[in-house]
Structure 1
Amino acid sequence: MTLSPETLIGHELIGLPVRVTASSDPNRVGIDGTVVDETTSTLVIQRQSGEAQIPKAGTEFRFAITDEAAASAKGAGTVSQPFESAGSTGEVTASVTVDGTHLLSRPARRTVSGGRLQWR
């Protein structure tokens, strides 16, 4: 399965640029970088100032997709806006916003099942 905005939650998240766009803790909004680890209930984001462990529940994440699927999705008008962050490479990207509750599972189980994405 190719990584695309529609299939994002069924894929490995480690290595993707990410930004916290909403959170039950306002201090977490705006944290961005690259996902370096994932547990059932958290994402670990590598920032320029170090790692931040962010709970999935109560958080909305915006992921950047930097492969060919992103370019074709952008051409089809299915993505929001280009994504730039500390973890971004500056390449043409698609961005996908995901409610963290849709990511609450063991990473291996989510990637094997393919997940179902509620995105915008």
Structure 2
Amino acid sequence: MTDATDKKIDDLDDRVEEAVENAKAAADAAADEAGDRLADLADAASHTIGTATAAASEAANKATAAASDTASQAKALAADAMDDAGEFIDDAADWIEEKYRDNPALVLGIAAAVGAVLLVGIGAIIRAITRD
């Protein structure tokens, strides 16, 4: 893999870790809020509070585990996609190099055409964004 691919995977790792931590914090906050509300009802049904708090804690743990699993799956899929993209780019570079050796004018002409198409596309996107 290239350094750029490693950096993207590291960035993805950081984002996944941040998402998991955010999910954990949200789940903990939800559990805390549920616990606080249940404490207000303690006078009326003290024996129910323990059961409900345990259920809220269990639900928070399940939500955290689900978020972690989802983030791990997303990370694995993204890493696979990055590997596939890297292989495709390597194959494309080899193919272009081979074609350049055969007919450099054709390759340069195609590159110029692709560049022009990209510029037109970017211009269209900018126009669409700035349109009133």
Rg bigger for which structure? Answer: 2
More helix by share: 2
Which of the pair is proportionally richer in strand? Answer: 1
> Structure 2 length as normaliser, TM-score?
0.17
* TM-score normalized with structure 1 length: 0.18
